[in-house]
Amino acid sequence: MQKKYYTIKQAAKVLGVTPLTLRNWDKGGKLKAYRHPINNYRVYKSDQLELFLRKMEISREKKKKRKIDIYYI
């Protein structure tokens, strides 16, 4: 069974970034963290991470499809 919530360290590993990057994304609103009710640590929902991974993959695919025109003068 899949975990429902991930710690910041676990979420960073899933996404392939550092915990500091996740903190910055949280501050910037790119990927919002929830707060654990007892210790106030950042936690991330599994479905939220899956959606974010899909968005990252779509973004990568769009970049691959871009064509660059080079003009020589």
DSSP strand pairing (42-45 vs 5-7): antiparallel
* Cα 47 from Cα 65, distance rounded (Å): 27
Residue 58, helix vs strand vs coil: helix
pTM of the entire structure? 0.74
Where along the chain do its domains lie? 5-65
Domain at 5-65, CATH from 3.20.20.150, 1.10.1660.10, 3.55.50.30, 1.10.287.110: 1.10.1660.10
CB within 8 Å of 43: residues ≥ 6 apart: 5, 6, 7, 8, 33, 34, 35, 36
pLDDT digits (tens, 9 = 90+) for 13-72: 999 999 999 999 999 999 999 999 999 999 999 999 999 999 888 887 777 777 666 777
pLDDT digits (tens, 9 = 90+) for 34-50: 999 999 999 999 999 99
